[in-house]
Each structure stands twice: as C-alpha cells, then as structure tokens.
Chain A
C-alpha cells in the first residue's frame, strides 16, 4: 500500500515548455487535490476532483489544467511553464466527496524549477 505517489520528484523546465505531473493513489479514495507550496505561503489549492469524471478550480488555477484519468489517477499539466510556477507541488486524496472535514493524505511532492 503505497498511499499517494507522485512523479517526477524533481523537474527543471525552460520558460514556455510544457509538462505533466502525475499522481496516483491506491486507497480507493474518491477525492483528489493538487496544491502548490511556496516559501512562507503555506499550501494553495490549484484544482480538485471530488469524484471520477469531475474537476473544479481551486484558489490558484490559472496556468494549469487537470485530468482525472480514472479513480486512481489525477494529473496536473502546465501548458506553457513560467518562472512564477516554480514551486513544490503536492497531490493529495481523501476518502469521500472531499472538503475540509476529511483527512487528506499527501504525496511526497514534486519540486519544479522553471528557468
């Protein structure tokens, strides 16, 4: 039981390049989330998916797209990376329909550097 896994662990991009961050969970959870974490700012929600087939914007969705490929997988895509997207990205999941009342389980994070 690996919990929440993320790939890659670290990535360097040039401005304008695209990439997809992958996330998978093996806990049969319904809800999945993507966050970014910047120094001194805590976590900010980018997108979330309350169930397979649905996605919704969070606090900072601009510049990102997501796909809930199936119940296990939730990917985050940067179509044209910008230096402002340099951050640590965390994927999380929770058991039911999602929301702050549910315990979220986090992956180890992806460190992204955009030059």
Chain B
C-alpha cells in the first residue's frame, strides 16, 4: 500500500517552470503514478500518468527516477490559470488500491 506525500503548498510566478514532487516510498511493482488538477468547486481532472522514466504531454511532464520512490510533475511556463490543487495518485489495477495524496495547493502570482 503506497502512501504518498506532497508539499502542502507552493508559490510561483507567471512564466516560470513549476516542479511538484510526490514521495511514494512504498510503491509496488505494478503501481502507476497519476497526477490530477482540481479547481475550486470542481472535481479533479486528469493531467498526466506514468510508470517509469519520463512522460510528456501538451500540458505537463512527469519525471520518475529509476527507484520510482518519488515523481515530479513539471508545469512549463505557468499562468494564473494554473492556480489549483494538484494531486498525486499511486495505485495498481491488480489490487484496486487508489491512494490519493493530500494535494499541493499551487498559487501563481502575476
């Protein structure tokens, strides 16, 4: 059962790159790592998912080191609209464990 740990909050400025790290020391072999974004009064929304190494899509990158005990969500050139809570989710389809982190509140300043 992988428990995840994230920073409670982070601040940054428009145009900067933001990196949010999630620790999951007890991650299992079959576990995936997924990140979601949540705006106030809305449900979470999928951002990116990975298993190992690096994954990139149109909005973010996900870096996973070889030991997979942590992962880093990278948001390039953030804007004010990226202000949200970001959740790290670790789990495996084989045992249906869906363990969400407490979330990182990201505040982007002008």
Contacts and interface: CB of A to CB of B under 8 A. Distances in A.
A42 B43 contact: no
A95 to B, nearest CB: 12
A69 to B, nearest CB: 21
A23 B30 CA distance: 30
A48 B32 CA distance: 18
Nearest to B100: A42
Interface residues of A, number: 28
Contact of A100 (B8, B41, B42, B93): B93
Contacts of A4: 43
29 contacts: A4-B43, A40-B8, A40-B102, A42-B87, A43-B44, A44-B100, A50-B96, A90-B43, A92-B43, A97-B93, A99-B93, A99-B98, A100-B32, A100-B34, A100-B89, A100-B92, A100-B93, A101-B49, A101-B92, A101-B93, A103-B34, A103-B46, A106-B44, A106-B45, A107-B43, A108-B42, A109-B41, A109-B42, A109-B43
Closest 10 CB pairs of A and B: A106-B43, A100-B91, A99-B93, A42-B100, A43-B100, A103-B46, A42-B102, A101-B32, A45-B98, A101-B93
Interface of B: 8, 31-32, 34, 36, 41-46, 49, 87, 89-93, 96-103
